[in-house]
Structure 1
Amino acid sequence: MIEIERKFLVKSEDFKTESHKHTRIIQGFLNTNPERTVRVRLKGDKGYLTVKGKSTNDGLSRFEWEKEISKLDAEALFKLCEKGLIDKIRYEVKIRQHVFEVDVFSEENQGLIIAEVELSHEEETFEKPNWLGQEVTGDKRYYNSQLSRHPFKNWV
């Protein structure tokens, strides 16, 4: 239940031609406290409730628990969420044994594209595609819970 991932900005849309799947995701947060974030997500026609613990200092890993819930339950829980829903399209790109999840944000976070790759341990190496840009692992501004409260369009 420990999630280990690295996060990067994306410098081109070349990933779209390499993607084998894309899905719209809408998510909100019942709690954005960094000690324990509680997220409601609608991914396609499936709902999910996720609890994430506090990140390590370097931002590489944290506790994550997720449970599938019905679409109706997710839609009902959105009404209880804090202000600021996230709306994005997630593209999945397989490169060797890793899958990069590339999120193209819309609405309040239009213009932001972030790629994440999950790892089995913190020192694991992986091939970096040419469209991968600056690493932002551990930069809390790029956490979805923060983007819901402080959208990308307001950054100056």
Structure 2
Amino acid sequence: MEFTEIERKFLVLSNQFKENAHEHYRIVQGFLNSDPARVVRIRLSGKEAWITVKGIGDSSGLSRFEWEKELDIREAEALLELCEPGRIEKTRYLVQFGATLFEVDEFYGENTGLVIAEAELESSDQRIDIPGWLGEEVTGQKAYYNSQLSQNPYSNWKKDQAP
């Protein structure tokens, strides 16, 4: 069983990715703990739900501990009520570009206007195909972690002080 998540994150420049999305679904998530050393997340998506524990990342921000377990939807709904203030609501689009699958998250609520693409990797040196709709890489920038967006939403960022 593997407990390491390796991923790269990018800001998205345009909605062009939607033309190539082969699937999309709504996600609501809350955090029982948003401390970067031990994030505990509850996620609901349709009729599925999970609890996820994430550890602190390596120095590059490329990989970190991740453990996940599926939950009964009623359990997840009850746990969401215990979460810290600041839920994350988003639509996730799955977009295949060459050999790379991107999960593109379009955020709502206090994070409206933020769109982030993630590519999960098999290894830290794996090459990925970069589509033209991707912008700046934000891998390892903690302000873009969902747990941090729940505490300091995108709408609170001053454009001249963005991470």
TM-score (norm 1): 0.98
Q: 2:81 is matched with which residue? A: 79
Structure 2 residue 71 is matched with structure 1 residue 69: yes
CA distance in 2, matches of 1:93, 1:55: 25
Task: Tell me the equivalent position of 1:60.
Answer: 62
Find the counterpart in structure 2 of residue 40 from structure 1: 42
For structure 2, list consecutive stretches of 5 or more residues without a partner in the other structure: 159-163
Structure 2 residue aligned with 1:15: 17
Counterpart Cα distance in 2 of 1:105 and 1:71? 22
- In 1, the alpha carbon distance for the partners of 2:72 and 2:113 equals 30
Aligned-residue CA RMSD (Å): 0.7
Q: Distance in 1 between matches of 2:32 and 2:100?
A: 30
Structure 1: gaps (5+ residues)? none
Partners of 1:122 and 1:82 lie apart in 2 by: 32
Q: Could you say what secondary structure the match of 1:29 adopts? A: strand
What residue number does 2:7 align with?
A: 5
Q: Percent identity of the aligned residues? A: 56
Among 105, 116, 128, the alignment partner of 2:130 is 128
| Deviation for aligned residue 1:70 | 1.3
**CA–CA distance in 1 between the matches of 2:124 and 2:5?**
10
Checking the alignment, whether the CA contact within 8 Å between 2:99 and 2:129 is kept in structure 1 is no
Match of residue 108 from structure 2: 106
Find the aligned partners of 1:45 and 1:98 in 2 and give their Cα distance: 27
SS in structure 2 of the partner of residue 124 of structure 1:
coil
The 2-side partners of 1:135 and 1:147 are apart by 17
Task: Number of aligned residue pairs: give it.
Answer: 156
Secondary structure in structure 2 of the residue aligned to 1:30: strand
Partner of 1:148: 150
Task: Output the amino acid matched with 1:100.
Answer: F
Structure 1 residue runs of 4 or more that deviate by more than 3 Å after TM superposition: none
Secondary structure at the residue paired with 2:15? coil
| TM-score using structure 2 length | 0.94
1:52-88 per-residue CA deviation (whole Å, 9 max, x = no partner) reads 0111111000010000101111111011000000000
